[in-house]
Amino acid sequence: GLLLRPGVLLGEAHSTAPLMRGVFMLRQVLCGELAAPPTDIVNSRLDEVGELATQPARAQIEALTGEQPCSTCHSRINPLAFALEDFDALGRHRALERVFVDGEVVAEHPLDTAVELELDGAAVSVDSGAALAHAIANSEVGHACFAERVFEHTRIRRPTSAADHCLNRRVTRAMLDDGASLLDAFVVNVANDALFTRRLED
């Protein structure tokens, strides 16, 4: 249920900011590497697609990012973004997308949240934010990234050594195979740290 909380889904004013959601999911929830897009390419694509302000967000994003070089990264970002579109800018479930211009509703569109994405090297089809959260919760990559995030928050650093990665793999397998909880993952990370045996350097 963590992925569908308002703090994760909050957008900007009347916009759900779907691309920001997709980037957040890819980087923070699936631990995917993603470079920032070159500004000149973004600007040139905006000029090419023309006026799209009243179109559904999905149609706008597909027009902006459907061609190379944008599609290389957006083939990973967009499915995560589109699946979450059944939640509005405040994280509330919705059935319609309302398009606002200057604070006024200028169009309403039915939602299209059906997507196919890759998890654990296989294609997975989902049709809603809830289905996406369920698919990630049942994936190895989702558990592995979760274990890494717990490590970072308990150790206040990124995993760097072979021992760090070994610990994260053990936590991942424990959550996947044995149903270990967040509390279990936290305890394992703290209990295996030398936090209480260190002495300050002179």
- Residue 156 backbone zone (phi > 0: left; psi -120 to 50: alpha; other: beta): left
Give the 3-state secondary structure of 50-109.
CCCCCCCHHHHHHHHHCCCCHHHHHHHHHHHHHHHHHECCCCCECCEEEEEECCEEEEEE
Rounded to whole angstroms, how far apart are CA atoms 120 and 192? Answer: 28
pTM, rounded to two decimals: 0.85
**Residue appearing with tokens 């319609």:** 96
Percent of the chain whose predicted confidence (pLDDT) is above 70: 92
Dump pLDDT digits (tens) for 169-191. 989 988 888 888 877 887 877 76
Count, residues in the chain: 202
